[in-house]
Amino acid sequence: MPDHTPPPHPARPVGAAAALTVEDIREAHKLLSGVARATALESSRYLSGLVGAPVHLKCENLQRTGSFKIRGAYVRIAGLTAAERAAGVVAASAGNHAQGVALAASLLGVRSTVFMPVGAPLPKVAATRDYGAEVRLHGQVVDETLAAAQEYAHRTGAVFLHPFDHRDIIAGQGTVGLEILEQCPEVRTIVVGVGGGGLAAGVAVAVKALRPDVKVIGVQAAGAACYPPSLAAGHPVAVEGLSTMADGIKVGRPGDVPFRIVEELVDEVRTVSEDALAGALLICLERAKLVVEPAGASPVAALLAEPGAFEGPVVAVLSGGNVDPLLMQRILRHGMAASGRYLSLRLRLTDRPGALATLLGVLTEVDANVLDVGHVRTGPRLGLTEVEVELHLETSGPEHCTEVTAALRGAGYRVAESE
């Protein structure tokens, strides 16, 4: 295997990050040897062509438990005293942190209790139990779940493990940055998803200490972006009304510890739309053959949204791959629609033999692939001899969608796009 030692740049202390140094992250990396995988760095020809420079994907979606969270959880638990370990640990999470804590605690012989929302996806609940945690379902939203976990810690003496607001957690996540510098010494830009900020802060401490010339860019979902207003205010600001499919970065307030590091060391925090997230997930699946959750695909979404804004070579961190299959199905359909490859239409036919066959014949002529057909024969807006048909079509792009719609209207059908 070739030597990927980063070019010599003297390690330097950083102001607000002085409480956490690259040496702390190196110690965490040693501690994680044999525990966390040094995940692959895969080149993306498609994204490289789009950006106009080499783009590599850091595949933390292939990490143990399906995300980077095992890194920080293991380092945090390993740093507990014997008395703290004996008391056990408790966490609150809807998914990735839960699984990381469960496995890390099991590997270290520590009892773990994980509180999860009542509506948490069943595969994530089952995986957390399989990794050895006692799972307690409580609350409809993560804030309620978090309060229950903190109350449990106060009542029992168990150590509460925050998902991002602790230096040991950040040190563990920062090992991703060390691996990137080893695997891609020529890197110029690292793009990473941001929720509470633990991963971005850890990567920034590691990278800026060794390679201050490398840009670190954070990405948040536009519907759950707590960092832009916080950075503008100069302190963590809580935002409400969060709405995004990227539940892994759906955080209403930055952590106090990671915020100061992100404020000083991260070059920029961008936001991306839901359409961009869905499109990024689709690109990861189709082009890179990687299953990635929406939060993990956020760096790719940023590249898709403004490819010319990133100096290459670029490394995009795919932070996780734990996505519920039903959610994946909906997201992929949304992503196809956003990219003009999925079209839903409603139109009316005369309810007589052969009417549907005639309609399908028009679609055949324009090479539209019919995925599903639905019929409504009774309704206050329908005439006695009318039937409403809803079509779900696979198309090849926006121009093909326009062609399909024009062909149907040219054949005399009144067409409306389904919501």
* Cis before 313 (ω within 30): yes
Measured distance CA(373)–CA(345) in Å, rounded: 10
Give dist(CA 8, CA 5) in Å, integer.
Answer: 8
Question: Per residue of the chain (419 residues), what is the pLDDT tens digit?
Answer: 344 434 444 444 444 455 899 999 999 999 999 999 999 999 999 999 999 999 999 999 999 999 999 999 999 999 999 999 999 999 998 789 999 999 999 999 999 999 998 878 788 899 999 999 999 999 876 778 888 999 999 999 999 999 999 999 999 999 999 999 999 999 999 999 999 999 999 999 999 999 999 999 999 999 999 999 999 999 999 998 888 988 889 888 999 999 999 999 999 999 999 989 988 998 998 899 999 999 999 999 999 999 999 999 999 999 999 987 777 777 777 767 767 677 888 887 777 888 788 888 888 888 888 888 877 766 666 666 677 778 888 888 888 888 888 888 888 888 876 55
CA-CA distance, 294 to 232, in Å (whole number)? 26
Catalytic residue among 44, 48, 93, 319: 319
Work out the number of other CB atoms within 10 angstroms of the CB of residue 274.
20
Q: What is the pLDDT of residue 11?
A: 42
Please state the φ and ψ torsions of residue 46, each to the nearest 5 degrees: -65, -50
CB 105 within 8 A of CB 80: no
Task: Supply 384's token pair.
Answer: 């006695």
> What 8-state DSSP symbol labels residue 32?
T
Contact call for residues 226 and 251 (beta carbons, < 8 A): yes
Please state whether the predicted TM-score (pTM) of the whole model is above 0.75: yes
Which run of H or E residues covers position 137?
strand 134-137
Q: For residue 416, what pLDDT is reported?
A: 74
Distance CA 274, CA 412 (A): 35
Distance in angstroms (rounded) separating the CA atoms of residues 135 and 90: 10
Contact 184, 315 (CB under 8 A): yes
- Give catalytic status of residue 69 as yes or no: yes
Structure confidence at residue 382 (pLDDT): 61
Which residues have CB under 8 Å from 279's CB, separation 6+? Answer: 301, 304, 335, 338, 339
| Residue 370 CB coordination number (10 Å) | 13
Distance of CA 202 to the CA centre of its chain: 17
Residues 159 and 89 sit within 8 Å (Cβ to Cβ): yes
208 in active site? no
Residue 182: CB atoms within 10 Å: 15
Q: Within 10 Å of residue 287's Cβ, how many Cβ atoms?
A: 13
Q: How far apart are CA 88 and CA 98, in angstroms?
A: 14
Task: Find out whether 112 and 102 touch, Cβ atoms under 8 Å.
Answer: yes
Catalytic-role residue among 69, 124, 215, 250 = 69
Round to whole Å and give the CA distance between 197 and 186. 25
